[in-house]
Amino acid sequence: MSDIDDKLMSPADAVRRFIENGAQVSLGGFTINRNPMAVACEIARQGVRDLHLVCHSHGQALDLLIGAGCVSRLELAYGGNGRYAPTCIRFRDAVENNKILFEDYSNYQMSLRFLAGALGVSYIPSKSGLGSDVIRLEGFPPGIRKERNVASKKVVVAQNPFSNDDDPVVLLPALTPDVALVHAQYVGDDGTVRITGLSFADIEQAKSADVVIVSCEEIVPRSVIRRDPDANSLPPFLVDAIVHAPHGAHPTACYGFYDYDPGHLNLYRVAAGDDENWRAYLEKWIYGVPSHEAYLEKIGDTVLRALRADPERGYAVGLDRK
């Protein structure tokens, strides 16, 4: 028995229980790193529809969910996967062919919007973006501005109310997603979450959301995770579902555990570039595998072993990344 028995569940149960059609979902991680893939694959597998994704710079989970037809609205700063997809491929297709509604912000703006949600304030000021089209052009049509979880305006440029001098600031609307997806290295059996390496904006995202789903590489005893509390990221009471998913960020990296998978990301790039190949990819890697465990079996031990991180450096030293 542990403190988290009621929160510990499979990806399938977490998605069924917490992610409804039309939900606003924030994606943790960053481009090719610590994407919540085990849960994202399950969202695609269950055929959830009309998600409103909110993220800063994202890659693999973003592209997969768009490509699988799960997304109808998107607020983001960046969609790219480095050399494997300088612009995310299904994201690009969806934007160029009018398949989703989208609104562009910057990384700082999106991160601050999550922070505002976490702080419980309705907006937050910044100097970033003055003079740019990022603040001049709205992406969403006026018709959806009155809906729940859609800001009434993209941004407002206002004068600093504490100064008589000309000092414009950009006011950014807070984000309060229905669900935050986070993939962490460790969760204690008391529910404490520890992200190692960079936390990106995962902690702000989790604190801004109504429901937090954390998948993790390892579940460790309370005595272990509380030995070094300075290193911990979230307390148990903010977390609603815990999913034990080793390699749960594959094919993206998880610092200290494994590197990104160049072989799979190259395979993905080829598949995503063509509608027919893309359907075959979804069939083979998502719909045709019943679970995360079955997915890993299909990837194979040889591949996973080659990606294993050097314990001191945090990545796979000398990995062929071409």
Partner 1 sequence: MTGYTDTEMMALAAGRLIKDGDIVFAGTGVSMLAATTAKRIYAPGAVFFFETGGIDPDLRELPMTVGDPRVMSGTSINTGLIDALSLLGHRKLRTIALLGTAQIDRYGNLNTTSLGDYHRPATRFPGSGGACDAASCASGVISFVKHEKRRFVEKLDYLTSVGWYRGGDSRRRLGLPRGGPIAVVTNLGVMKFDDPTKEMYLACRYPGVPVETILENTGFPVDVSRAVETEPPSAEELKILRDEVDPQRLILQ
Q: Under the criterion CB under 8 A, does residue 240 sit at the interface with partner 1? A: no
Stretch that binds partner 1, among 129-137, 185-193, 210-218, 266-274 (CB under 8 A): 129-137
Query: How many CB atoms lie under 10 A from the CB of residue 182?
Result: 28
Q: Under the criterion CB under 8 A, does residue 203 sit at the interface with partner 1? A: yes
The CA distances from residue 73 to 144, 204, 231, 254, in Å, are 10, 21, 35, 27
Distance CA 279, CA 274 (A): 9
Residue 321: CB minimum distance to partner 1, A: 6
Residue 208: CB minimum distance to partner 1, A: 12
Residue window 38-57: x/- pattern of binding to partner 1, with contact defined by CB under 8 A = ------------------xx
Q: Under the criterion CB under 8 A, does residue 184 sit at the interface with partner 1? A: no
CB 158 within 8 A of CB 169: yes
| Nearby residues of 53 by Cβ (< 8 Å), 6 or more positions away | 24, 25, 26, 27, 62, 65, 66, 71, 73, 74, 75, 76
Give the type of residue at 289.
Answer: V
Residue 290: CB minimum distance to partner 1, A: 30
Residue window 130-149: x/- pattern of binding to partner 1, with contact defined by CB under 8 A = xxxxx-xx-x----------
Nearest to 239 by CA among 29, 1, 4: 4
Residue ranges that bind partner 1, judged by CB under 8 A: 29-33, 56-57, 59, 76-83, 86-88, 91-92, 95-96, 98, 104-109, 111-112, 115, 127-134, 136-137, 139, 166-169, 197-204, 253, 255, 259-260, 309, 313-315, 317-318, 320-322
